[in-house]
Amino acid sequence: MKVYQIHKNSLLMTEQEVPECGSNQILVKMKALALNHRDHLVVNGITRWKLKEDGRVPVADGAGEVVAIGKDVTELAVGDRVSSLIVPNWQDGEMTPAKLQGSPGGPGADGVAAEYVRFNETAVIKIPDYLSYQEAATLPCAALTAWNGVVEKSDLKPGNTVLILGTGGVSLFAMQFALMMGSEVIVTSSNDRKLMEVKRLGAHHTVNYAANPDWVDQVLQITNGLGVDHIAEVVGGSHLNTSLQCIRPGGTIAQIGAIQGVCDGNVDTAEIMYNAVNIKGVEVGSKAMHARMLRAMEVRQTKPVIDKVFEFSDLAEAIEYQGSGNHFGKIAVNL
C-alpha cells in the first residue's frame, strides 16, 4: 500500500505492507483525508509541531470503510463507514493531559495519510449516511473544536449574538453551529469575497476589519452598544484585548485558537475582572461530544464547506495550499 511519511520537512510516498488487525483493532480502507492548519505545521516542522525524528505518517483527519476486524471487536463490522478521532484517548468526561496523548498525525502518533490504516476499535466513530467520505473527513478536528467552543462550552440561547473571528475551517463550523443554536451571527474577515460567501451561508452581519480599522465600533453598533454574548476567538495572543472590547459584561469568550501566537503579556486582565468575562479554553473534544455533534448535524442535514479536493498523489500540493490561507472552507483529499 502507499503511505506518506515526513522526511526532513517534506513528504515522501513509500510502499508498505497492509497491516493486520490485532484482537481489538480494525483495518480501514481510507477513502478521503481532510487537512487542518496543524498538518501544515507538522510537515514543515513549525513551533511545537516540530518532529524529533523522520518517518512520521502525517494528517490527523480521514474517513473510510472498515474492511477487516479483530476477533474481539464488538461495536463495528466490515462495511461500516467511519472517521478517525482527533484525540482517540478522550472518549468521554473531562479532559486530562493523559487523554490528549496520541493524537494522530503529530509528534505523538502516526496519522492517516495511507491507503489502509489500522485503528483500535475505539479510535474511530461511525459516520451518518448523508455525509460523503470527503465531508465526514473534515469533522474530527475543526468541526469538533468549533462544536465544543460554541455548544458544549456555552449557554447560548436563541437570539443571542455570536462573533466569529475569521473564515477558516474552525470559524466556518462555528458559524454553522451558532446558526443551528438560533444565534444572531457576526463574522469578520479581511476578504470581501469570503464575507459574501458567509452571508450566503446564513451569517446575519459581516465586518471587514481590514477596510474598517474601527471595526469594534461596528460590532458594538450591531449590538446596540451592549457587546456580543459569545465570541469564537481563534486569533489568540494580544488580540484577546480586542475581543474583550466586543464582549458584553458576563459574556463568554471561547479561546479556540492561537493563530497570532502566545500572549505577549499585555492582556488587560482588569477588563476581564470588571466585566466578569468568562474565558474558556477549548481543546478539540471527546468522542462523546463528537457523537452529539454528528447527531445534531444529521437532524439539520448540516454539510461542511469544502473549498477544494485534491488527489492522494497531490498531497504535498494540498498541504502547501492549506498553508497559503487562500482557501474558503476545508481542503479534502481523495484516495
Structure confidence by residue, pLDDT tens digits, 152-187: 988 899 999 999 999 999 999 999 999 999 999 999
Q: Identify the band that residue 261 occupies on the pLDDT scale cut at 50, 70 and 90.
A: low
Cα(52)–Cα(45) distance, integer angstroms: 9
pLDDT exceeds cutoff 90 at 58:
yes
Residue 92: exposure state from Cβ atoms within 10 A (0-12, 13-18, ≥19) = exposed
Cell numbers given for 130: 448523508
Q: What is the pLDDT of residue 234?
A: 86
Percentage of the chain modeled with pLDDT above 70 = 96
CATH number of 154-281: 3.40.50.720
Task: Kindly report which listed range (98-107, 144-153, 179-188, 234-243) carries the lowest average pLDDT score.
Answer: 234-243
Q: What is the pLDDT of residue 143?
A: 98
CB 35 within 8 A of CB 322: yes
Residues near 194 by beta carbon (within 8 Å), at least 6 away in sequence: 167, 328
Domain boundaries, the chain: 2-140+286-334, 154-281
pLDDT tens, position by position, 15-39: 999 999 999 999 999 999 999 999 9
Q: Do domains 2-140+286-334 and 154-281 have the same CATH topology?
A: no
pLDDT exceeds cutoff 90 at 151:
yes
CB 291 within 8 A of CB 144: no
Q: How many CA atoms lie within 13 A of 294 on its CB side?
A: 23
Q: What is the pLDDT of residue 46?
A: 74
pLDDT exceeds cutoff 60 at 263:
no
Residue whose cell numbers read 478536528: 141
Q: Mean pLDDT throughout 203-224?
A: 95
Q: Mean pLDDT throughout 254-275?
A: 75
Q: Which CATH number fits domain 2-140+286-334: 1.20.1250.20, 3.30.565.10, 3.90.180.10, 3.40.50.2000?
A: 3.90.180.10
pLDDT exceeds cutoff 70 at 240:
yes
Q: Mean pLDDT throughout 201-226?
A: 95
Q: What is the pLDDT of residue 49?
A: 66
Q: Identify the band that residue 103 occupies on the pLDDT scale cut at 50, 70 and 90.
A: very high
Distances (CA, A) of 171 to 20, 162, 269: 38, 11, 25
